[in-house]
């Protein structure tokens, strides 16, 4: 009987989450994942901010490397490359249908050949692992200077 109760508690404490990377309104990659022992305080924590910042930094580094590779292979800039509109990558973390973190980074600084062929599938398992670890942490940093980041308990 105790085993069934523990199993129910584990299932009840799991939270469905989603990570989405978009270029403008086009989905580049979208994955759903479950977080056991979800900590609601982690949604407004500096830990989540640091984790997402590291993920974005990794994606930007990958884009820079691809850009350098293209430039090295005698890439010729065309008129279409120069007439770029402002485009942005958006990384969104959701808990159910609620957005808990949303960040943008410029995409038009990369050549079209790079920004339209982004593939983060090889990194997605480590991205989800880091997000799951952060969102299930018991102790998270929720104070910044004199400010309390969590207003809803």
* Predicted pLDDT at 40: 87
CA distance 18 to 12: 18
Contact 31, 117 (CB under 8 A): no
User: Could you count the other beta carbons within 10 Å of the beta carbon of residue 120?
Assistant: 18
Residue found by looking up tokens 């960040």 in the block: 103
Domain ranges of the chain: 15-136
Q: Can you tell me the mean pLDDT for 135-147?
A: 77
Residues 24-57: pLDDT tens digits? 999 999 999 999 999 888 888 889 999 999 999 9
CA distance 145 to 83: 43
Residues 52-107: pLDDT tens digits? 999 999 999 999 999 888 877 665 665 455 556 789 999 999 999 999 999 999 99
Predicted model pTM: 0.78
User: Could you count the other beta carbons within 10 Å of the beta carbon of residue 37?
Assistant: 13
Binned at pLDDT 50, 70 and 90, residue 153 comes out as: very low
CA distance 70 to 138: 44
pLDDT above 60: residue 145: yes
* Predicted pLDDT at 65: 92
């Amino acid at each position: 009987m105790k085993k069934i109760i523990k199993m129910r508690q584990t299932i009840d404490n799991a939270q469905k989450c989603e990570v989405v990377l978009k270029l403008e309104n086009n989905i580049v990659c979208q994955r759903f994942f479950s977080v056991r022992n979800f900590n609601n305080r982690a949604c407004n924590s500096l830990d989540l901010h640091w984790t997402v910042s590291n993920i974005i930094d990794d994606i930007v580094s990958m884009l820079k490397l691809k850009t350098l590779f293209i430039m090295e292979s005698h890439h010729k800039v065309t008129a279409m490359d120069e007439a770029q509109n402002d485009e942005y990558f958006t990384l969104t973390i959701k808990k159910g249908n609620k957005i808990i973190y949303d960040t943008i980074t410029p995409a038009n600084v990369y050549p079209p050949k790079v920004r339209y062929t982004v593939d983060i599938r090889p990194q997605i398992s480590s991205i989800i692992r880091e997000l799951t670890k952060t969102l299930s942490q018991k102790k998270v940093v929720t104070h910044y200077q004199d400010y309390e980041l969590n207003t809803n308990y």
